[in-house]
Amino acid sequence: MNRATVAPAPEAGAAISDDALWKGAAAVLDANWERDHTVPSRTLYPHHWNWDAGFIAVGLAHHDPARAWADLHSLFSAQWIDGRVPHIVFDPDVSERDYFPGPAFWDSAAMPGRLAGLTTGIVQPPVHALAVVEMWRRSPDEVELRWLYERLAHQQRYLLERRNVGGAGLASIVHPWESGLDNSPSWDAVLGAIPVDLEMMRKYRRRDNRVANSDHRPTDADYARYIAIAANYRDGGYLDAGLIDRHLFLVECPGFNAILGAAEHALAELAEVVGADPAPHRERASKITRALVDTLYADGSFRSRDVRTGELSPALCVNGLIPLVLPDLPADVVDSLVATATSERFGIGPLPVPSYDRTAPDFDRLRYWRGPIWINVNWLLWRGLRTHGRAQEAAVLRESMLSLVRRGGYHEYFDPVTGDGIGSAAFSWTAALTMDLLTGG
């Protein structure tokens, strides 16, 4: 494995120039490159992650475009026959002991729908088309674009057709990990109905708590439910037919579906380049936006929905703001989301947006997606604000993100009170998106 030395993180409070910030980000991406893909970090995430690869490709488009194309080519080479792109492609050179749950747990090699490599059987938000648009603009590669376009479109068909469990035209996620926001309060109501078997955590040994502070990670109760949900989907052969009758977790996530709609807009742009018809992409994008507003919008924001009960989550989380990335979002909805993002609940200002409502009684400033700040979702919000002509708010958010990285380094996530970096220290998407922010996008 590549063991290149990562440049030291900026010291807290240090004045870091844009040039030094860029060089530090480049050093992180260089150190985390592994043959044909970038790992999220060397400490905790030693494999190829799905939506990480999309965000990382945005930065690589500035730093090393050939690696950006290679990274996504490697990921989509593991696409399943039905179109799903797995949330992890396992590196065969990494020991089963170094990451849990690893390939033995997922047992994808036994599945007839698997195309290549050892993978998980679940997915993540389809941010890749957005990345490919940026890659094409900065360093066109027609051969790679044509190869990826067909696979990106196939991914969309899988999510819109096989995962339309609720029938409203939205994709359902079958596991919290598919959202990318693993332990968000957005899932609490659904997860609360799933019995906890802590004996399971004696059978399986978590890797994350051995290399990261357990106070910052999901609890054992969370993890026991995660394993139960994953095993339930695996034992059903990763089949999506009949999920409503047999699966433990079915949720329509506003963030996931907003990215799904944004991907259709991006594919419409790419279709014109490769000579395909952009109209079906635009039509699907419009339908997703309408379905999001009709199904998940309430009280001025978007909420996740339990597909089985139809209930909306009461939790106000950052995934409810991500629909700002949709260019066809109604103006009054945009106004409401911007008002929420700039309110005391999230507060775009000296610090970026946290992952959960700051005023909620169970806001947790340190525990993963239950309060900390993440650069990737703030980057999506920044794009959304610019899309809707909110230049002032976008400029404030951009500067707050860059200031956060200058003070806290290229961390996985950040304390929403102090701005201190927490989680993995040399995190690839933080470094990659810092590059994009430095260029102004």
Q: Is 208 a catalytic residue?
A: no
- CB burial class (10 A; 0-12, 13-18, 19+) of residue 302? buried
Going from the C-alpha of 98 to that of each of 112, 150, 368, the distances in angstroms are 27, 34, 20
Q: Which letter, b or e, does each residue of 164-181 get, where b requires 16 or more Cβ atoms within 10 Å of its Cβ?
A: bbbebbbbbbbbbbbbbb
Active site residue 98: no
Contact 183, 191 (CB under 8 A): no
Q: Which of 178, 264, 412, 436 is catalytic?
A: 412
Strand runs labelled E in 35-176? 37-38, 48-49, 88-89
Beta strands 413-414 and 421-422 are: antiparallel
- Name which of 220, 221, 234 is nearest 195 in CA terms: 221
Taking the C-alpha atoms of residue 156 and residue 264, their distance in angstroms, rounded to an integer, is 8
Strand segments, DSSP code E, in 221-266 are 251-252
Alpha-carbon Rg for the chain in angstroms:
20
The DSSP 8-state label assigned to residue 83 in this structure reads: S
> From CA 119, how far away is CA 102, in angstroms rounded?
9
The torsion region of residue 299 among left (phi > 0), alpha (psi -120 to 50) and beta comes to left
Q: Which stretches within 275-313 are classed as H helix?
A: 279-296
Sequence-separated (6 or more) residues with CB below 8 Å from residue 112? none
CA separation for the pair 420, 399 (Å, rounded): 16
CA distance 372 to 352: 10
Please report, for residues 150, 267, 273, 284, 387, the alpha-carbon distance to residue 278 in angstroms, rounded to integers and kept in the order given. 13, 7, 10, 10, 20
Using alpha carbons, list the distances in angstroms from residue 159 to 78, 113, 118, 237. 16, 15, 21, 17
User: Which tokens hold the place of 383?
Assistant: 């794009």
| Catalytic pick among 182, 208, 306, 357 | 182
Torsion sign over Cα 256, 257, 258, 260? positive
Residue type, 145: L
Nearest by Cα to 171 from 290, 329, 269, 307: 307
Residues with a known catalytic role: 182, 412
